[in-house]
Amino acid sequence: MSPADEALAKKRFFAINLMRVIGALFIMAGFLLVAGRWEIAGMPTDRYIGVALVLMGAFDFAVFPMLLARRWRSPRDL
């Protein structure tokens, strides 16, 4: 593996793990909003925002890294 390939792999690994961390933060913020521990726009609206953050966080944590890994997969040698 050349140094350029190794640097690209490190950047991609960092990007995938950053998506997971951001997703976990979105999930935690969403749960805080749903529970009423953090207020942004008032109670009924905060719950909707919290649910949206939890759903976006779940997508960022579970699905998006798989999509990135599939897109960046190395071609298979036949």
- For 59-71, what is each residue's pLDDT tens digit? 999 999 999 999 9
- Kindly list the domain boundaries of the chain, sorted by start residue: 21-70
Query: Is residue 78's pLDDT more than 70?
Result: no
- For 16-75, what is each residue's pLDDT tens digit? 999 999 999 999 999 999 999 989 988 899 999 999 999 999 999 999 999 999 999 877
Distance CA 6, CA 32 (A): 39
Cα dist from 57 to 4, 24, 74, whole Å: 32, 6, 27
Query: Is residue 5's pLDDT more than 80?
Result: yes
- pTM exceeding 0.75: yes
Query: Is residue 77's pLDDT more than 80?
Result: no
